Amino acid sequence: MENISLILIFWYGILHAFGPDHLTAIADFSIGKNKKKTMLITTLFAVGHGISLLLFAKILEYYNVSESLLGYGDMISASVILLIGIYLLFMVFTNRININKHMHKGKEHIHIYFGKKHEHQDNNIPIASAFTIGTLMGIGGVRGMLVTLGLVEASAVDLTLVLAFTLGVMLVFIGFGACILYINENLLKSKKTVNIAFASAGTISIFVALNMLLA
């Protein structure tokens, strides 16, 4: 029975990861990033998501929380996506997303950066933010995860179950990250295509968020 429970929660993690809010958030953070950053962002998003679910599920084991209160988790997730979408559109329409091309060891490198000035040094802000957003958005998945855990008749939410869930989520996130990476490496070659990509991501983010808030 234990193996069946793990398989079921792993499958639920896969299904859960296909939520439009999750894929939208990953796209927002991964567009314009190199291979290393894209894979790291998607992985940390999944890990943050799993940690958040574990913490809140543990809290809900000991405290009786109403369905209406749990519903605020979905509102938090939607609000995060909405703010990201508005931010991306603001950056596009104020001409704050730029592209820099240069040759390095005989190979053309393209850097996409926010702001008027290009600084070559890498920063970890998008990576840390991806982990934080993944953790925040995990709140919205607590209800669904607990329902699944009830279906498998688990007496407690332990690390093994959360790990199985996180691995399912990570499988989809990394696969989707690979798709974003393909776009980054093959389509984002000019300022016009970069602006279109970010504007599209921002618009989709707002649409997905409003759909969640108004549902």
pLDDT band with cut points at 50, 70 and 90 for residue 207: very high
Distance from C-alpha of 155 to C-alpha of 173, rounded to nearest angstrom: 29
Our CA angle for 209, 212, 214, nearest 5°, is 105
110, pLDDT greater than 90: no
6, pLDDT greater than 70: yes
Total tally of structural domains belonging to the chain:
1
pLDDT band with cut points at 50, 70 and 90 for residue 29: confident
Count of positions (residues) in the chain: 215
1, pLDDT greater than 60: no
Using a pLDDT cut of 90, give the percent of the chain over it: 14
For the question of whether the overall pTM of this predicted structure is more than 0.75, the answer is yes
C-alpha distances in angstroms, 132 versus 169, 177, 188?
16, 17, 26
Q: Residue 152's pLDDT is what?
A: 47
150, pLDDT greater than 60: no
Segment 73-100, tens digit of pLDDT: 778 778 888 998 999 999 999 988 888 7
Across 102-130, average pLDDT: 62
Across 144-153, average pLDDT: 55
> Are 10 and 169 contacting, i.e. CB atoms less than 8 angstroms apart?
no
**Other C-beta atoms within 10 Å of 96: how many?**
13
Distance from C-alpha of 152 to C-alpha of 4, rounded to nearest angstrom: 8
Q: Residue 121's pLDDT is what?
A: 45
Segment 33-81, tens digit of pLDDT: 878 888 888 888 888 887 777 777 667 667 666 656 666 777 877 888 8
- What is the domain extent for residue 11? 2-214
pLDDT band with cut points at 50, 70 and 90 for residue 167: confident
